[in-house]
Amino acid sequence: MENGPIVRTADRGDVMAICRFGEEYVRARYAPLIGEDEAARQVRMWWNTTNIAGAVARDAVVVAEDGGRLAGVAQRDLDGGQHVIRKLYARPRHRGLGSRLLEVLIGRLPADVGRVYAEHLVADESAGAFFEREGFAVERIEPGGVVRRARKLR
């Protein structure tokens, strides 16, 4: 039996829990970095039921459950033919879970994908450090303060 959170593909029944995770955890995480109003705006824009349900329907979201509670969420997307990790969050008490979520997302990419991208806010230095440890190099900083990183897979 596996210890700790179980990582699995999200399904329709997870949509509301994922939205709540964004509202509770992600909003609180970003408020000190970008301000309460901007953190609330980001959550409304990216963690709403329409956005999350669409990503779940595309099999682009994985979740980590621990005792029936969401411990982490990760989402990938296609952007101009490039596979991009848009969300990757784990509750702090689950050390190493971010790496597991990332591994599962990458493992579900088509075999011919040679590069994966990740995005995070410039202000989120811990996200930058995480992606650097995971082999992602800065490709560019986009308008609006988003860092685009790339990692070669094969």
Percent of the chain with pLDDT over 90: 89
Question: What pLDDT, on a 0 to 100 scale, did the predictor assign at position 154?
Answer: 78
DSSP states of 25-91: IIHHHHHHHH-HHHHHHHHHHHSSHHHHHHHHHTT-EEEEEETTEEEEEEEEEEETTEEEEEEEEE-
CATH assignment of the domain containing 97: 3.40.630.30
Q: What is the band of 144 on the pLDDT scale with cuts at 50, 70, 90?
A: confident
Is 43 inside any structural domain?
yes
At residue 124's C-alpha, the angle toward residues 133 and 26, to 5°, is 110
Q: Between helices 27-34 and 36-46, what is the axis angle to 10°? A: 140
Separation between Cα atoms, residue 62 and residue 70, nearest integer Å: 11
Is 72 inside any structural domain?
yes
Q: Are 122 and 56 in contact (CB under 8 A)?
A: no
Q: How many structural domains are present in the chain? A: 1
pLDDT in tens, 8-27: 999 999 999 999 999 999 99
Flag whether pLDDT at 93 surpasses 90. Answer: no
Average pLDDT, rounded, for the chain: 94
Domain residue limits at 11 = 6-152
Is 1 inside any structural domain?
no
The pLDDT of 84-90, averaged and rounded, is: 95
Separation between Cα atoms, residue 145 and residue 38, nearest integer Å: 13
Flag whether pLDDT at 2 surpasses 70. Answer: no
The pLDDT of 40-57, averaged and rounded, is: 96
pLDDT in tens, 62-82: 999 998 899 999 999 999 999
Question: What pLDDT, on a 0 to 100 scale, did the predictor assign at position 1?
Answer: 39
- Residue that the structure tokens 């930058």 belong to: 128
The pLDDT of 87-108, averaged and rounded, is: 93
Question: What pLDDT, on a 0 to 100 scale, did the predictor assign at position 97?
Answer: 95
